[in-house]
């Protein structure tokens, strides 16, 4: 099992290490060039281009170069205009700054014409550094040349440094399945920036990763925003398989009409209210009747605002397409109800989960599923969908999962996923015998 090490300070991430290494290389190149140019601009380009993801690094590099060339081109035009057209006669006059200001508009309009508006800031910075700060240099054209060259050096070094990795063998035939609460999220119910960046990087590189949780698809989106899902998630405690990209349910365990009628008749007879979660044509519809307690009312007011939840007041008993029923009431009433349910001959035809509410002290939940709706059954279905050789699970309960996450605050789950998915393998020590 994993032993979690406590950390009092934030970890030093790869972006910091790579940025430092690239800046060192900028100065090394500067000395190799016999101190020609201005390494400040190389270092600046490096710091802008080193990004968490390889794709974002390439995108930033393109923007930086495009902006530099646009700004340098118009800076060169202004230099020609001032040096050779007017022999520097207007230097320091308001007319000089008026011309520069007008050309700023031309620089910005050029980015619009070329459809690279996101480079406008870089373009203007380069243009102004040439036309304002160095107009009266002995050779302002030399500064412009070095400005472009130093930026190019910084961009190339950033691309090079960000593409260097330890030799790793990616395990693309393994399905990695993690819990969310107390596993992937921290104790404050957040996905740390490091975990988000590394998780997306691993998924984009081919890791077969998903989550298995009691949460609904809407709740997964709220808890894990910005994750680049490639594989459907197991949601609603195993009742559904949900594709986050297609907004569809490739698989779901729903009650038959007979089972739905039996359990809803029983609950109605006992006088309990409940939310009926159904999936119709890949649309989650949650039916309710009269809201009978404060917890029900608060849940309705809180969750109905989500674009991924559709609450409808039922005019009659709902029996079709039911994934699960959610009931919440005072703890003693729920205990009595559960004991009554256990005495029914049909009790074994359902999977019933009773838990105390954290959000509503003194209240308890009962979730009622078809007996086939389990995480294990849904995981088995998902395994058949994918070309995998084995499955590795991550969770917070010791002995229940392949990898026990003892402390969710140290990004342990992502670190273990990284270690299992792409272990370092130096060819010298991994030759085939």
| Average pLDDT estimate for 383-397 | 91
SS3 369: strand
Q: What is the mean pLDDT of the chain?
A: 87
| DSSP summary character for residue 133 | I
For 12, the token pair is: 């030093």
- Asked if residues 202 and 421 have their Cβ atoms less than 8 Å apart, the reply is yes
Q: Are 67 and 123 in contact (CB under 8 A)?
A: yes
What per-residue confidence (pLDDT) applies to 165? 66
Question: Of 146-160, 288-302, 314-328, where does mean pLDDT reach its minimum?
Answer: 146-160
In this prediction the pTM is: 0.72
Residue 364, beta-bridge partner list: 329, 356
pLDDT of residue 3: 40
Token pair 């917890």: residue: 295
Distance, in Å, from the CA atom of 111 to the CA atom of 119, rounded to the nearest integer, reads: 7
- Cβ-based neighbour number of residue 362 at 10 Å: 11
CB 208 within 8 A of CB 388: yes
CATH code reported for the domain at 257-371? 3.30.1240.10
pLDDT, tens digit (0-9, with 9 covering 90-100), for 86-143: 555 555 577 778 888 999 999 999 999 999 988 998 899 889 988 887 666 566 777 7
- The three-class DSSP label of residue 390 is strand
Whole-number Cα distances in Å, 214 to 135, 146, 204, 298, 412 = 65, 58, 26, 20, 21
Neighbours of 312 (CB within 10 A): 13
Question: Looking at the domain 174-252+376-428, which fold is it?
Answer: Rossmann fold (3.40.50)
Pick the more confident residue, 287 or 39.
287
What is the DSSP secondary structure assignment for residue 410, as one 8-state letter?
G
**What's the length of the chain?**
433
Query: Distance from CA of residue 301 to its chain's centroid?
Result: 27
Domain segments of the chain as ranges: 14-162, 174-252+376-428, 257-371
Instruction: Report CA torsion sign: 59, 60, 61, 65.
Output: positive
Residue 396: phi, psi to the nearest 5?
A: -100, 0
Quick one: pLDDT at residue 187?
A: 87
């Amino acid at each position: 099992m994993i032993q979690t090490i406590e950390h009092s300070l934030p970890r030093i991430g790869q972006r910091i290490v790579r940025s430092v290494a690239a800046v060192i290389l900028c100065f090394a190149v500067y000395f190799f060039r016999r101190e020609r140019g201005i390494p400040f601009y190389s270092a600046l380009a490096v710091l802008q281009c080193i990004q968490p993801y390889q794709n974002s690094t390439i995108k930033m590099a393109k923007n930086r170069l495009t902006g530099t060339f646009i700004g340098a081109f118009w800076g060169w035009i202004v230099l020609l205009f001032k040096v050779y057209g007017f022999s520097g006669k207007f230097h320091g006059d308001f007319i000089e700054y008026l011309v520069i200001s007008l050309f700023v508009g031309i620089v910005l309009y050029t980015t619009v014409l070329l459809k690279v508006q996101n480079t406008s800031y870089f373009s203007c910075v380069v243009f102004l550094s040439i036309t304002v700060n160095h107009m009266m240099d002995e050779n302002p054209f030399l500064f412009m040349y070095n400005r472009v060259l130093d930026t190019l050096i910084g961009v190339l070094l950033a691309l090079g440094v960000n593409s260097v990795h330890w030799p790793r063998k990616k395990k693309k035939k393994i399905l990695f399945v993690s819990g969310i609460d107390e596993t992937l999220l921290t104790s404050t119910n957040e996905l740390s920036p490091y975990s988000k960046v590394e998780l997306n990087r691993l998924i984009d590189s081919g890791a077969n990763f998903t989550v298995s949780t009691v949460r609904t698809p809407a709740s997964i989106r709220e808890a894990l925003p910005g994750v680049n899902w490639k594989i459907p998630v197991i949601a609603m405690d195993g009742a559904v398989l949900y594709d986050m990209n297609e907004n569809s349910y490739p698989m779901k365990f729903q009650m038959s009409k007979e089972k739905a009628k039996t359990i809803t008749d029983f609950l109605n007879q006992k006088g309990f209210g409940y939310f009926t979660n159904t999936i119709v044509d890949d649309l989650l519809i949650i039916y309710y009747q009269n809201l009978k307690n404060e917890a029900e009312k608060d849940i309705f007011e809180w969750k109905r605002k989500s674009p991924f939840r559709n609450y409808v007041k039922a005019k009659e008993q709902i029996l079709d397409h039911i994934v699960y029923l959610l009931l919440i009431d005072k703890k003693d009433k729920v205990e009595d109800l559960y004991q009554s349910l256990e005495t029914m001959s049909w009790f074994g035809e359902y999977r019933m989960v009773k838990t105390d509410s954290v959000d509503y002290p003194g209240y308890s939940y009962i979730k009622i599923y078809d007996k086939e709706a389990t995480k294990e059954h849904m995981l088995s279905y998902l395994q058949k969908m994918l070309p995998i050789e084995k499955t590795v699970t991550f969770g917070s309960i010791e002995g229940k999962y392949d990898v026990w996450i003892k402390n969710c605050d140290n990004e342990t789950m992502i670190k273990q996923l990284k270690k299992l998915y792409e272990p370092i393998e130096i060819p010298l020590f991994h030759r085939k015998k």
